[in-house]
Amino acid sequence: MTLRLTVLVVVFSMATLSCKKDDPDPVEPPPSEESGPDLVFKFQFDADAPRLNNVGQPDEIEDGNAGQSPEFNSISAHYIELAPDAWTALGTGEILYKGPETDAGGTDALDFDQSILKPGGEEFIRIPLSEIESGTYEWIRVSLSYQNYDIEYLFNGSTYSGTVASFIGFNTYISSYEIKNESIAVNDDRLQGYWGFETTVAGWTETTTGQAPEGATTVPNPLFASAPIEDGSCVVTGPFDTALNITGNETDDIVITLSLSTNQSFEWTEVTEDGMYEPLDASFQPTGEVPVDMGVRGLEAIVSQ
């Protein structure tokens, strides 16, 4: 193969496997045989983990903002890839899962209607180990697409609980979605950072929706120097706590716990700088205190085998 042809192959691979438009058809794991064994993925949420920025460095809350660590109800992911080392470019590792997409909204988008939503600690997906290339993997990439969690807020001097539905994929087609008890109809695409909020106060239910600024969603990638990912991507990169070794001779399942840092991951703009989220205060209108960053703050993959 000539140098020119090699370069073209690499460029084509990166373009077609990014978390943007022109993605290939969905890659769904084949059905697992009863005998297994499988690679099993679960999520967990850690409010005490380091709070990282987009390049994987410790990060403080931006001046004029405040944040809190939400209590997660469910999460969804669109893409899972194993990377052998820190120089493995996006799309050139072992791609295990890629969820359905649609152009029903006019552009390429994640299909929320077909998303897998799971709470922490519950099995998210399993892939037969026989279908995975043997080797040692030190890093993992996970494209997170949807989060649903509870947060606290202040209203008329009292603290209440509300629920946030947060869409952090690059672009998502949503027919409708349920925040907690209330359903919101969309029937269109929504860009990264779209959110819905629901709360009930004294028997009165309030729902609001909004859109965080473009580029405001944090997506940590500690490998930014050796394996960069395009801005606006939803692909979070993290290390394994112990390198994942696939031999092809496994007899038991291997469980991967995707531990996400939720350390003040729900961040909003402050009107009154008191560290409390106040979305319903009429005196703050027309803008109010609104979410600005709902990205997770780090990823570590914990291996149990």
CA 224 to chain centre: 17
Q: Is the pLDDT of residue 104 over 60?
A: yes
Q: pLDDT at position 287, please?
A: 62
User: Which two three-digit tokens encode residue 201?
Assistant: 């106060």
Q: pLDDT at position 281, please?
A: 76
Q: Are 239 and 301 contacting, i.e. CB atoms less than 8 angstroms apart? A: yes
Q: Are 86 and 138 contacting, i.e. CB atoms less than 8 angstroms apart? A: yes
Q: How confident is the model at residue 21 (pLDDT cuts 50, 70, 90)?
A: very low
Q: Is the pLDDT of residue 15 over 90?
A: no
> What average pLDDT does the segment 53-59 reach?
97
pTM greater than 0.85: yes
Q: pLDDT at position 282, please?
A: 59
Q: Is the pLDDT of residue 13 over 70?
A: no
Q: pLDDT at position 174, please?
A: 98
Q: Is the pLDDT of residue 212 over 80?
A: yes
Q: pLDDT at position 146, please?
A: 98
Q: Give buried/exposed letters for 110-121 (b at 16+ CB in 10 A, else e).
A: bbbeebebbebe
- For 3-7, 32-36, 191-195, which range has the lowest pLDDT when averaged over its residues? 3-7
Q: Is the pLDDT of residue 54 over 60?
A: yes
Q: pLDDT at position 195, please?
A: 97
Q: How confident is the model at residue 24 (pLDDT cuts 50, 70, 90)?
A: very low
Q: Is the pLDDT of residue 206 over 80?
A: yes
Q: How confident is the model at residue 188 (pLDDT cuts 50, 70, 90)?
A: very high
Average pLDDT of the chain? 89
Q: pLDDT at position 2, please?
A: 38
Q: Is the pLDDT of residue 283 over 50?
A: yes
Q: Is the pLDDT of residue 210 over 90?
A: yes
- For 60-64, 75-79, 234-238, 278-282, which range has the lowest pLDDT when averaged over its residues? 278-282
Q: pLDDT at position 96, please?
A: 98
Q: Is the pLDDT of residue 60 over 60?
A: yes
Report the amino acid identity of residue 6: T
Q: How confident is the model at residue 280 (pLDDT cuts 50, 70, 90)?
A: confident
